[in-house]
């Protein structure tokens, strides 16, 4: 059969693009190397609890178009992300706000908190001097002082990156927002929530009526097409949401990522394990960065619970690439691949892997809608 588009990757980017192009009258075939659709936003129902299989996913956006768009495919609840941080025997609210300052210093009013924070920053700056921060530790100390850095930033960041904060570049932390209100809402966006029934349902609806082949990598698919010769399906264009360096057989070298391991457990007979969806562990000695208790995302009633421990790790080929490492080396390398990609007439690279970019869900939807609009304009 002759299709207009081969879409590689059934994640949010691929699914939104396919949906829009189908609506505009184009034919699409979607393939994905995984055995399921939805990419990293995939949720699986375990005993009535929707489990975020690739880490906690909270939808938040200030883009009304995107909020209305996802609203066509799911009803969102009123979940507000309010993580808790555990440091030894101490518990703190995040993001840094009056609750955190009260827990740290016993202060009650914004004025007291501001004064204490200013003192912390001043004494850190006195020690460090006026020069440019030489590393992430110095940068964090200048921004929030020693207490917050030691208890809530240092260990967590070191686990995330697998390196000491003194060996990490300062630019990783540009700002550390603090709030002088008793507001534990992690995000500042206008809209926030969790799709009731899980994210997989959204992608199912996006892909409704579009043929999807699972468990099939682009390489395998190509080999299959070559073997079939003139009998093979053909495509006018390709949307590729896999790794851009893999697409080009790593001809300039490998882009670097950080990976995560997820350890998911069903706790039978435990109704409520930690009382919150997201609990961060900020000490370096504890190997995981956070524990997610999935039932709290959708306020599910169940006699059991499911938790996931998240362990960051060094990525090597074959591991799932979760976070791009946008340092100088990788940015320069990506630019080389991008130059090649820009010269392609019939291949579009999109999504977090195709563009080597950390994308929140709303941004990925926005980018896919823009790319689809551009294609559809070209069709007219």
Ligand X SMILES: Cc1cc2nc3c(=O)[nH]c(=O)nc-3n(C[C@H](O)[C@H](O)[C@H](O)COP(=O)(O)OP(=O)(O)OC[C@H]3O[C@@H](n4cnc5c(N)ncnc54)[C@H](O)[C@@H]3O)c2cc1C
Q: Is residue 9 close enough to count as binding ligand X by CB under 6 A?
A: yes
Residues 335-354 close enough to bind ligand X by CB under 6 A: 351-353
Active site residue 175: yes
Active-site residue (options: 75, 175, 231, 345): 175
Catalytic residue among 147, 283, 304, 360: 360
Selecting among 250, 335, 358, 370, the annotated active-site residue is: 358
Three-state DSSP state, 45: strand
Residue in 24, 46, 55, 259 binding ligand X, rule: CB under 6 A = 55
How does DSSP classify residue 68? H
Tell whether residue 14 is a contact of ligand X (CB under 6 A).
yes
Structural Rg of the chain based on CA atoms: 23
CB 240 within 8 A of CB 49: no
Q: What is the size of the binding site for ligand X (CB under 6 A)? A: 34
- 142 classed as catalytic: no
Q: Specify whether the CB–CB gap between 75 and 195 falls below 8 A.
A: yes
Contact between 28 and ligand X per CB under 6 A: no
| CA gap 250, 157 in Å, rounded | 29
For position 158 contacting ligand X by CB under 6 A, the verdict is: no
Figure out which of the listed residues 58, 113, 291, 307 binds ligand X, where binding follows CB under 6 A.
58
Q: How far apart are CA 243 and CA 261, in angstroms?
A: 19
Our answer to whether residue 258 is catalytic in this structure is yes
Looking at residue 23, the DSSP 8-state letter turns out to be H
User: Of residues 193, 242, 312, 324, which one binds ligand X by CB under 6 A?
Assistant: 242
Q: Which of these ranges, 154-162, 229-237, 272-280, 358-366, lies near ligand X under the rule CB under 6 A? A: 358-366
Q: Cis link prior to 268 (omega < 30° from 0)?
A: no
Could you list the beta-strand ranges (E) of 43-190: 43-46, 49-52, 59-61, 84-87, 90-93
4 is an active site residue: no
Which pair of tokens denotes residue 174?
């540009």
Contacting ligand X (CB under 6 A), which of 47, 217, 274, 276? 217
Question: Of 290, 337, 352, 362, which is the active-site residue?
Answer: 290
Q: Which is nearer to ligand X, 66 or 124 (CB)?
A: 66
Closest CB to ligand X among residues 79, 87: 79
360 makes contact with ligand X (CB under 6 A):
yes
The DSSP code for 76 is B
User: Which H helix or E strand runs over 6?
Assistant: strand 2-8
Residue 164 CA to residue 153 CA, distance in Å, equals 12
Our finding on whether 33 is near ligand X (CB under 6 A) is yes
Q: What is the footprint of ligand X within residues 258-277 (CB under 6 A)?
A: 260
Q: Is 122 exposed, middle or buried (0-12, 13-18, 19+ CB in 10 A)?
A: exposed
Which parts of this chain interact with ligand X (CB under 6 A)? 8-14, 31-34, 39-41, 54-59, 217-218, 241-242, 260, 322, 351-353, 359-362, 364
Q: Return the active site residues.
A: 175, 179, 258, 290, 310, 358, 360
């Amino acid at each position: 059969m002759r299709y207009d588009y081969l879409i590689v990757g059934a994640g949010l980017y691929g699914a939104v693009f396919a949906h829009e192009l189908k609506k505009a009258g184009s034919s699409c075939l979607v393939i994905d190397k995984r055995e399921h659709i939805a990419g990293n936003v995939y949720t699986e129902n375990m005993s009535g609890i929707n489990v975020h299989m690739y880490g906690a996913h909270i939808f938040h956006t200030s883009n009304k178009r995107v909020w209305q768009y996802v609203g066509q495919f799911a009803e969102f609840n009123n979940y507000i992300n309010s993580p808790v941080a555990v440091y030894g025997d101490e518990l703190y609210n995040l993001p840094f706000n009056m609750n955190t300052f009260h827990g740290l210093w016993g202060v009650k009013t914004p004025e007291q908190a501001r004064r204490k924070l200013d003192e912390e920053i001043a004494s850190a700056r006195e020690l460090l001097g006026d020069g440019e921060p030489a590393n992430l530790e110095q940068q964090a100390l200048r921004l929030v002082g020693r207490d917050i850095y030691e208890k809530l930033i240092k260990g967590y960041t070191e686990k995330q990156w697998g390196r000491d904060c003194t060996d990490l570049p300062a630019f990783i932390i540009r700002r550390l927002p603090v709030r002088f209100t008793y507001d534990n809402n992690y995000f500042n966006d206008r809209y926030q929530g969790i799709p009731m029934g899980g994210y997989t349902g959204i992608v199912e609806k996006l892909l409704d009526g579009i043929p999807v082949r699972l468990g099939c990598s682009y390489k395998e698919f190509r080999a299959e097409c070559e073997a079939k010769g003139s009998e093979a399906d053909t495509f006018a264009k390709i949307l590729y949401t896999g790794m851009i360096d893999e697409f080009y057989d790593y001809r300039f070298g490998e882009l670097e990522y950080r990976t995560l391991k997820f350890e998911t457990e069903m706790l039978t007979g435990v109704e409520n394990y930690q009382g919150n969806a997201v609990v961060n562990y900020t000490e370096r000695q504890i190997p995981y960065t956070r524990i997610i208790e999935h039932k709290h995302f959708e306020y599910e009633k169940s006699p059991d619970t499911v938790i996931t421990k998240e362990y960051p790790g060094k990525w090597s080929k074959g591991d799932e690439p979760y976070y791009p490492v946008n340092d100088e080396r990788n940015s320069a390398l990506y630019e080389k691949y991008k130059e090649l990609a820009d010269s392609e007439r019939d291949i579009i690279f999109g999504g977090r892997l195709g563009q080597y970019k950390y994308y929140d869900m709303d941004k990925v939807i926005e980018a896919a809608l823009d790319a689809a609009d551009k294609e559809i304009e070209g069709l007219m």
